[in-house]
Amino acid sequence: MSNTWRIGTRKSDLALWQANQVADAFEKLGVLNRLIKIESTGDQNLTQPLYEMGIQGVFTKELDIALLNNQIDLAVHSLKDVPTQLATGIVLAGVLPRGNVYDILAYTQQTPTDAPATIASGSIRRRAQWLHKYPKHRFENLRGNVQTRLQKLEASAWDGAIFAQVGLERLDLLPEKYEVLDWMIPAAAQGAVGICVRESDTELIRIIQKFNCSQTWKAIQMERQFLRTLEGGCSAPIGALATPTSEGWNFKGGLFSPDGSEALVVDTWVEANQWETKPQLLAQEILNTGGQQIMSALSN
């Protein structure tokens, strides 16, 4: 039995906030732990758009390596950054209760409308959905941690930039001027904190299961199953959101062409006993109605 579990995390303030939430959950169980900070590929390259980097798991790869090399015992992630196909020997052991799922537009003067405007984001999913709604707008790449991106927006001539609301909330950085984009389908597992461990660490998995949030677990499994069936990663314009109801789930998922010209969306209700199977069928429906052509074009 380990005396102290080593928690691997990225170095950003948001990543450390998330890792400390996991550390607190361990401490409430009387389990000792310590944080180990690791820099990811996505943190090292802050100029290239994520969708152009051509790497699955740009924010998770180095933590995976540290896990497999026994340098850490668990890795804490923004689960939306974690590929649906985990590295061999690594499993998702649990999730914390989910935070806010939506994206927001932080704007400088007034909310951009159909008039030509410049919006910033490093996400192809956000870009595609925004351009589908506002085809006259143009996009600028925006990378860096939350604070850096807010500073870049403030210093720019852009009309606005898109952020995950949960990250700004967790760091108490919500700007005065913002609009919740509840029409934009979030990334699969957005707002969820995931904990990955070595598959062989059964004792650690058992401990994590004591504070795993079962409702969040089902939701993110549905969204990641939808994403996995479409064979998309963080570089694909795919969104998915499972919202619990008293008798099942409201599920919305979409695949978009990068320029926003095409949008294939499902918006349906899923019975409680279908949460493990229905998302795959919905994704297959999208593939069969034009989605395969979009995914093929993305891979070329």
Catalytic sites, residue numbers: 81
* Run of H or E residues at 23: helix 13-28
Angle (CA) 184 119 283, round 5°: 30
Contact at 8 Å (CB) between 64 and 179? no
Amino acid, res. 269: W
> Could you give the CA distance from residue 5 to residue 70 in angstroms, rounded to a whole number?
11
Phi and psi at residue 249, in whole multiples of 5°? -140, 140
Nearest to 235 by CA among 295, 168, 181: 295
Three-class secondary structure of residue 269 per DSSP: strand
- Beta bridge partner(s), residue 242: 251
> Could you give the CA distance from residue 246 to residue 229 in angstroms, rounded to a whole number?
27
Q: Please, how many CA atoms are within 13 Å of residue 260, restricted to the half-sphere of its CB?
A: 17
Nearest to 124 by CA among 181, 179, 54, 172: 54
Distance of CA 297 to the CA centre of its chain: 23
Beta-carbon contacts of residue 191 (< 8 Å; ≥ 6 apart): 80, 98, 99, 100, 101, 164, 166
Amino acid, res. 170: R
Phi and psi at residue 9, in whole multiples of 5°? -150, 155
> Could you give the CA distance from residue 221 to residue 212 in angstroms, rounded to a whole number?
13
